[in-house]
Every structure is written in C-alpha cells, then in structure tokens.
Amino acid sequence: MPAPVPARLRIAVLGAGSIGCHLGGMLAEAAEVTLIGRPEAMAAVEREGLTLTGPGDAARRGIRTVRTATDAAAAAGADYVLVTVKSADTAGAARQLAAHLDPAAVVVSFQNGLHNPRVLAEGLPGHRVLAGMVPYNVVRAGTAAFHQGTAGRLMLADTPHSAPLAAAARAAGLPLVLRQDMPAVQAAKLLMNLNNAVNALSGLPLREQLGRRAYRACLARCQREALAAFRAEGITPARLGPVPPALTPWVLGLPDALFQRLAGASLRIDARARSSMWEDLRRGRPTEIDSLQGEVTALAARHDLPAVANARLVALVREAEAAGPGAARPWPGADLLAQLG
C-alpha cells in the first residue's frame, strides 16, 4: 500500500514548458506545486504569474501560488513528480531526480511516446513510476501564458498510488480518468500525435489543417503504417474516441463535407490551437519527431514493414529544424502528400 501523504499534496513538475506549466498551474488550486523549468521561463512565471486560458472561453488568470525552480533538487520532499520533458530528455531527467527524490515519491510520466515510463523506471530503481497521458493541446500564448486549445480528460494508470493525485486533479477541475490499459492508451495517443508533424509543416491552425482532405490524407498514410507495425508487434491501441483506431484512416480520407459531418466532434478545436511541434519549430527548439514518426519507422523496420510516409516526414521535420526558428516554408496539402510517396 502507498505511504500516507499530507491532505494537501506536494507536487513538482519537471520540464515546465507548455504542458507542465498548464498542469502545474491547474493543480495549484488543490496542491502545493513547484514548477521546475528553464531559467527564463521560470523568471517570467515569478514576475507575471501564470495565465491559463481555454478551452473555449474558460480562463484562470494570475495564478501566483506556484513556486518555481530551475534545478531538480526542488523535487525533494514532493509526494508526486510529474515529468513533462521531451522524450529525448527522459533519461537525463531520471538522472537529475535520482539524488533528490524522497523514497515514497511517485513519478508520473505525462509525456508523448511509448517508452518514457520504462526509461524513468530504469533510471529510478526503487521508485514507483506511473504512466499518464495528456489528451489536449496547449500552446504558449505569452511569456507566462498558456492556452488549452482542445478538450479531453487526463489519463493515469489505475493503481493505489494514483488515488491521491487523481483526487487532487479532480478537486482542481482537471478531468481525469484512471485506466488499467495505459500501454494501449499510449499507442492510441501516438496515432493521434502523428498529426503533429503534418500540422507543424502545414503552418496552419489545427482546425483549419484537419478540415482539409489533403492534410488528412497525409495523416491517414502515417496511421496505416503505424497500425500495420502495431499489429506485427502485438499492440492493440485503445479506443479513445467515437471511431475505432482501425477505421480512423478511412474516416480521414473522406471528402471534407462528409468528414465534417461524421467527425464533427474531432473538429471542435479552438481556432488558436496548433501542435506542440509547430511551436517547437517556431521557437527553434528540437522536436519530438523521433518519438512520433521515428517510433513508427523503428517499429516497422523491426518487422520488415514499409513506413515510407513516416520516414519522409521525419526527414522533412529535420529539414525544418535545420532551417532555424520560423524559417521553414509552409507546405500546401497537395505538395506534402506528394512527398509521402
């Protein structure tokens, strides 16, 4: 059984970028929260307080109850540490935390990709590591402002160690559901996140990009390759929405008007919402393409399966990264589709 924890949880967020600041800011209404992030970002939070907006017209302004830090040592004493770093930084995050975590601290991976909970567990032997999933989109709207552009419920592995964090999230107004099938949830999230690269290269807001058939066809090709690799690996993605994962590529290929009628809920996206990869390219930061399309190409190669569309998107995102902040040209849908073979 998990050790008793205080009535007001102590939560540290390691990697406090857009998702981390949003989670931490929301949880600050029900817990003692410390954000651990880049010096310039944490200085802005200290100076201005957090501004969280969305989805829709919902807003929480001037959250000043969070503490900030720039070193993993600030996680000492935390009951929960939420890890929101990019996948490439996960092993390093575990090394940073190892010297500071309390023995009973629970670590939660709220990250993209399939393997981050395992990487954290390997780097933090003796600590409980849980898988989590953030279904919605958050983009930076100012130096200390973050906008949630889509709705959805957080998901967290269903264990006795999850209950206090789940209760705090719900008390703070964060919808959360406990799941016993987190590997399947992570696979389903990867299928959805294959759109991150398409959106980033389109240069368009998510709602506009998903409303255009050529861009959806790009995503459908990536998903078909991913589903084939999943089948070969014995992975069955969870059904997280109205359409089963196996049918999603077919739905994406429908004409715009029919797609909008059948997938109307999927297009209830804030007009400002964009993928995190778009934001990374705009700000000149490394993307998570290796944990998204790169994950599919690696899995497909293990089973001698083609992954032409995913591999080409990896290359195109790499070119956009090399071009520098905001310098990559937007790809029209038909041109991007032609690139994918």
Task: Quickly list DSSP for 301-334.
Answer: HHTT---HHHHHHHHHHHHHHHH-TTTSPPPPHH
185-339: CATH architecture: Orthogonal Bundle (1.10)
Tokens for 333?
A: 């849908």
Residue pair 226/237 in contact by the 8 Å Cβ criterion: no
Of 4, 14, 182, residue with least CA distance to 98: 14
| Right CATH for 10-180 from 3.40.50.1860, 3.40.50.150, 3.90.1150.10, 3.40.50.720 | 3.40.50.720
> Confidence band (pLDDT; 50, 70, 90) for 271?
confident
Mean pLDDT of 180-188: 97
Tell me the whole-structure pTM to 2 decimals: 0.92
Radius of gyration of the chain (CA): 19
Query: pLDDT digit string (tens) for 225-250?
Result: 999 999 999 999 999 988 999 999 99
- What sign does the dihedral 205-209-215-216 (CA atoms) show? positive
Residue pair 21/111 in contact by the 8 Å Cβ criterion: no
Q: Per-domain residue ranges for the chain?
A: 10-180, 185-339
Same fold, 10-180 and 185-339: no
151 CB contacts (<8 Å, ≥6 apart)?
Answer: 55, 136, 268
> Confidence band (pLDDT; 50, 70, 90) for 295?
very high
> Confidence band (pLDDT; 50, 70, 90) for 264?
low
Query: pLDDT digit string (tens) for 103-157?
Result: 999 999 999 999 999 999 999 999 999 999 999 989 898 899 999 988 889 999 9
Distance CA 330, CA 332 (A): 7
